Amino acid sequence: MDKTNLLRRVYAFVLCAALAGGFAAAGCGGGGGGGGLGNDDPGDNDKNVVIAFGDSLTAGEVQPAYPAILSGLIGKNVTNDGAYGSTAAAGASRCSRVISSRKGAYMLILYGINDLLFGRSTSNIAGSLEKIVNTCKNNHVVPVLATYPIPIHGHEIFAGGTYRLNNAIRALATAHGIKCVDLEKEFLDGGDPDPALYLEDGLHPNAEGTKVMALAFADLF
């Protein structure tokens, strides 16, 4: 993330926290927000419930994880349905159960990096993500895809694969006419991944990176 964008998001985060009394449910669209994401046909799903669906980047290596922060920023119940070590293939299998249990009108999908680490091809990962998107659509849930921060440090070997995965995620979002939150770009500083936003493993966001994630998703609402 460039310095101007980072400063804007930090200011917005502090302002939202102050208005919300910490992370209370006060509707503040972080980072300038106002994206206006809506669901015109929620069925029996609750438009005040957002499902955060993914792997350890959603579950959170540091707490509070991004769904908890996001909840305070947008004034909605954001469930944390991240599963440590989970793959997009596993996510496609459990997606229907999560939707049935949570009854959320929106799903934020951050999946695929573990498939990549396990050697699955980009096309296979994209196929699993498309299954998740289609499951959402078939259940009156608005899906939102997200790209991954580019791995650094000990996981830098997977950077090339992550760039390809992110391009596939963007293409999938375009093909389905849905929103895509570009975390890859949010974690850049001068064109390169910003080490200040990562844990030492170079894969998971630290506390500051987690705030950046939450603010990026908050811009949707």
Question: 139-186, pLDDT tens digit by residue?
Answer: 999 999 999 999 999 999 999 999 999 999 999 999 999 999 999 999
Q: Say how far apart CA 116 and CA 121 lie, in whole Å.
A: 7
CATH at 159: 3.40.50.1110
The pLDDT of residue 62 is above 80: yes
The DSSP code sequence of 45-109 is: SEEEEEEEEESHHHH-SSSS-HHHHHHHHHTSEEEEEE-TT--HHHHHHHHHHHHHHH-EEEEEE
User: Does 187 fall in a domain?
Assistant: yes
pTM of the model: 0.86
Q: Say how far apart CA 38 and CA 33 lie, in whole Å.
A: 14
Question: 191-201, pLDDT tens digit by residue?
Answer: 999 999 999 99
Range of the domain at 16: 3-22+45-218
Task: Work out the burial of residue 143: count CB atoms within 10 Å of its CB; fewer than 13 is exposed, 13-18 middle, 19 or more buried.
Answer: buried
Q: What's the domain count of the chain? A: 1
Q: What is the pLDDT of residue 35?
A: 79
User: Does 136 fall in a domain?
Assistant: yes
The 8-class DSSP code of residue 140 comes to T
